[in-house]
Structure 1
Amino acid sequence: MPHILPIDTTTLGDRSYLVHDGRVAFVVDPQRDIDRILTLATSEGVQITHVFETHIHNDYVTGGYALAAATGAAYHVNADDPVTFDRIPVSDGDVIAVGDTMRVRVLATPGHTFTHLSYALDADEQQVAVFSGGSLLYGSVGRPDLLGPDHTHTLVRHQYASAHRLATELPDSAAVYPTHGFGSFCSATQSEASTATIGSEKLINPVLTHDEQTFVDELLAGLDAWPAYYAHMATANTAGPTAPDLSLPDRADAEQLRQRIAAGEWVVDLRNRVAFTAGHLAGTLNFGLDGSFATYLGWLIPWGTPLTLLGETPDQIAEAQRELVRIGIDRPAAHATGTPQQWAGGKALAAIPRATFADLALIRHHRQVTVLDVRRDLERAGAHIDGALHIPLHDLPHRIDDVPGGEIWVHCAAGYRAAIAASLLAATGRRVVAVDDDFDQAHADGLLTLAVN
């Protein structure tokens, strides 16, 4: 039987797959930083001969074109995808032999996109697995709204039909290997599952347990915003992205950092929020590597803005660069390592107070403060603090003027997004307190939370 090895990109919520028979291998939906895949293939002692794309991705820049170029593998992309590079076009019903025992059958499964494909794996004359991309996910499906509202209602019904096609044509024993669904905003909903079969999905997945209209209504009601950088991914992926340059960018000294901040460039501190709020170079923004760094940075930064990275070590800079190339931010303008004191060049550091919801409940008895909720719409719909101003984090950069003067206490669900928001506000001179606490404590600590009907 073939060996199926997932390659997780946990920060984006995606998986790629290396599949081999001990001699030759194929890869499904590789991420941009293909060195991980090449290293795995080498460690397994196999040659990559085929690369398959399930769809033109919306949430990351593919490594498929670069991986095929590096290995000489055949690159299989839907014949109907409007790519500008050479590939082997595939269509529904095609069967591709990989080695002596593996056969990959192409299945048209539109819904996440119009040209989405899944790949069923037959080995030793058994149907063992399906690589379902953004079609059938664990307990969910890929969201159908990423191509715009004009197509959503058509795609959601395609998604339903495609999931049922997989459930009908494949045996219950076939393992399901999706690309999305591990935290990706490409997933309509999230699941904690890490493995599944067609049979197990028939029991729990709403697309397979609900009638079509109920599924459509519930899925559409549960959709929320997706990262703004998604708008740039299809353009990159249809052009055949090359392998990224992960060498360190130019080094910036304290004076250059001040100049970049003064010029309106983004200078991003990669440390965790506790370290950042305790002391940082004034005007820098906090996107910690300990959270969904690339997702939120790519979501908020005006596309094309020069970016400088600040980290305590070169390894932190390298980690950030690897995350960023996956979403098409290829070359930061500069970097600096060391301490915030070094970055400030001897000038005084800025700080942001941290607090809990208990602190917020207490302070509201004594003085007037603005409570800013930066969670997404659906999060707020569950419960919110009475009187809180709601501006989702992704809207905050262009809605800073909607935040009143005075003291601002900013919160999210757990603290990471609140720290980003606090750094954005502090960079404009606002007096801000970052609530670094779990939102469940808001009710426990006496803050009135209301469900939104």
Structure 2
Amino acid sequence: MATIITIETPTLGDRSYVVHDGAVAFVVDPQRDIDRVTAILDEAGVTLKAVFETHIHNDYVTGGYALAHATGADYYVNAQDEVSFERTPIVDNQVVEISPTMSVRAIATPGHTYTHLSYALFDPTADDDDARGQAVFSGGSLLFGATGRPDLLGAEHTHELVKHQYNSAHRLASELPDGTEIMPTHGFGSFCSATQTEGDESTIGREKRVNPVLTKDEAEWIEEILAGLDVYPAYYAHMAPSNSAGPGEPDLTEPTRADKDEIRARLEQGEWVVDLRNRVAYAAGHVPGSFNFGIDGQIATYIGWMIPWGTPLTLLGESREQVAEAQRELVRIGIDHIAASATGGPAEWTDSPATLQRADFGDLSQVRHHREVQILDVRRAPEYAEAHIDGAVNIPLHDLITRIDEAPQGELWVHCLSGYRSSIATSILAAAGRTVVAVDDKFENAEKSGLPLVSGK
């Protein structure tokens, strides 16, 4: 039986896969930083024969082209995809023999994109169908209790794609044995998932019992999916063009070092300076005008969503390792060039550190009895609609840069679901000269603290 090694990218909610039999291997949907893949290949002592793409990705820059080029492996991309690089075209039902005991069958599963493929791994030497099938790499098609979203190619295609997605899920369920393991690329916090995924592993048989796409009738499922679609990150618009062009291997060498004067000059020129430390450290002291995108959260998602694309970016971190981690996160979404970096702390970055006030919902409840304050809720619109503090204004974090003038005047208390997004928001508002307090607390504590909620349920 083949060995399947999962490579997690939790900050983007994605997985890549290395599959080998002890001698040769194939890879499915590798991320941009291919050194994670080559390290696994080297450790296992196997030769890479093939790289498979399930689709032209919308949420990250692929490492497939660079990996195939570096190793000499065949690069399988749907023959119908319009790309500007040489690839090995593959079509529905085509079988690729990786080794005598590992074959891969392409299965057309449109829905997430028109040309989406899933890949079924099977052992052609096995005695019966149940033993022959091992796994299906389902990309953005069938996920754990969910499916990939059908709206990333634009509203004009959504209704057609959602019908394709329903039919594709049913095709996988009907053609593959119940014991087939499902190995999706998306669905672990990725905005490519149409709904919240469930669990960390699954099989075709389990999905037949629990996945709404396989338990509800088509009209009901489609209505629910379309009603539940939410926004997705703005940087997605740049991913498909990059992936269609055949992106090369990223340069992860350390950015040039910036001193206090250079950091100040870059801020004065309107560039972004991002503090990677956690929100507690940032609040205690930071470079005035810098933004706090902590490395402990979905840094690439939110920087990519909010930064005007192409804006020079300087990273401030506690260590070179912290900067390197952020750089790796950012190249995955095509932010390849970091203008500069600095390590240490505020004393090394500025002569006049600023601070940021932090509080919890209990503090907010108390202060409202003594003076007038404004509340800004930076969660996404569906979160706000489900339940929010009475009187709170909603500007989703991803809209804050362009809608900052809509933020209420006066003393502004900013909250989200758990504190990560509110720290980003307060840093942006503080840089704009606003009086802000970062509510670093779980939203579930708001009502417990005596703050009245308005529910949309």
Question: Taking structure 1 as the reference length, what is the TM-score of the superposition?
Answer: 0.99
Structure 1 distance, partners of 2:441, 2:157, is 39
1:249 is displaced (CA, Å) by 1.2
One of 205, 217, 233 as aligned partner of 1:227? 233
**Residue 323, structure 1, aligned to residue 336, structure 2:** no
Letter in 2 for 1:239: A
Letter in 1 for 2:411: E
What is the DSSP-based 3-state SS (H/G/I as helix, E as strand, rest coil) of the residue aligned with 2:199? coil
Letter in 2 for 1:326: R
The residue aligned with 1:239 is 245
Structure 2 distance, partners of 1:423, 1:249, is 24
1:192 is displaced (CA, Å) by 4.0
One of 408, 412, 415 as aligned partner of 1:408? 412
1:191 is displaced (CA, Å) by 2.5
Q: In the TM superposition, what whole-angstrom CA distance separates every residue of 1:12-41 from its partner, at most 9, and x where no partner exists?
A: 110000001110000000000000000001
Gaps of 5+ in 2: 127-131
One of 364, 380, 385 as aligned partner of 1:376? 380
Q: Superposed, which structure 2 residues align to 1:338-353 within 5 Å? A: 338-344=344-350, 347-353=351-357
Structure 1 distance, partners of 2:50, 2:377, is 47
Structure 2 distance, partners of 1:377, 1:194, is 27
**Residue 417, structure 1, aligned to residue 421, structure 2:** yes
The residue aligned with 1:255 is 261
What is the DSSP-based 3-state SS (H/G/I as helix, E as strand, rest coil) of the residue aligned with 1:450? strand
What is the DSSP-based 3-state SS (H/G/I as helix, E as strand, rest coil) of the residue aligned with 2:186? coil
Structure 2 distance, partners of 1:94, 1:186, is 26
Q: Superposed, which structure 2 residues align to 1:435-450 within 5 Å? A: 435-450=439-454
Letter in 2 for 1:102: M
Q: Superposed, which structure 2 residues align to 1:208-219 within 5 Å? A: 208-219=214-225
Letter in 1 for 2:196: Q
The residue aligned with 1:176 is 182
Letter in 2 for 1:260: R
Misfit runs of 4+, over 6 Å: none
Structure 1 distance, partners of 2:358, 2:191, is 29
What is the aligned-residue identity percentage?
Answer: 64
Structure 1 distance, partners of 2:118, 2:112, is 11
Gaps of 5+ in 1: none
**Residue 310, structure 1, aligned to residue 310, structure 2:** no
Structure 1 distance, partners of 2:394, 2:287, is 28
1:348 is displaced (CA, Å) by 2.1
1:194 is displaced (CA, Å) by 1.1
**Residue 153, structure 1, aligned to residue 187, structure 2:** no
Q: Superposed, which structure 2 residues align to 1:119-130 within 5 Å? A: 119-123=119-123, 124-125=125-126, 126-130=132-136
Q: Superposed, which structure 2 residues align to 1:330-341 within 5 Å? A: 330-341=336-347
One of 248, 251, 271 as aligned partner of 1:265? 271
Question: Taking structure 2 as the reference length, what is the TM-score of the superposition?
Answer: 0.98
One of 119, 134, 140 as aligned partner of 2:140? 134
Structure 1 distance, partners of 2:362, 2:224, is 35
Structure 1 distance, partners of 2:426, 2:9, is 28
What is the DSSP-based 3-state SS (H/G/I as helix, E as strand, rest coil) of the residue aligned with 1:199? helix
1:339 is displaced (CA, Å) by 1.2
What is the DSSP-based 3-state SS (H/G/I as helix, E as strand, rest coil) of the residue aligned with 1:335? strand
The residue aligned with 2:298 is 292
**Residue 34, structure 1, aligned to residue 34, structure 2:** yes
**Residue 16, structure 1, aligned to residue 22, structure 2:** no
The residue aligned with 2:129 is none
Structure 1 distance, partners of 2:101, 2:283, is 57
What is the DSSP-based 3-state SS (H/G/I as helix, E as strand, rest coil) of the residue aligned with 1:424? helix
**Residue 434, structure 1, aligned to residue 438, structure 2:** yes
Q: In the TM superposition, what whole-angstrom CA distance separates every residue of 1:112-147 from its partner, at most 9, and x where no partner exists?
A: 000000001111340111100000000100000111
The residue aligned with 2:169 is 163
The residue aligned with 1:5 is 5
Q: In the TM superposition, what whole-angstrom CA distance separates every residue of 1:53-104 from its partner, at most 9, and x where no partner exists?
A: 0000000000000000111000000001111000000110111000121111
Structure 1 distance, partners of 2:245, 2:133, is 34
Structure 1 distance, partners of 2:454, 2:220, is 27
**Residue 452, structure 1, aligned to residue 451, structure 2:** no
The residue aligned with 1:279 is 285
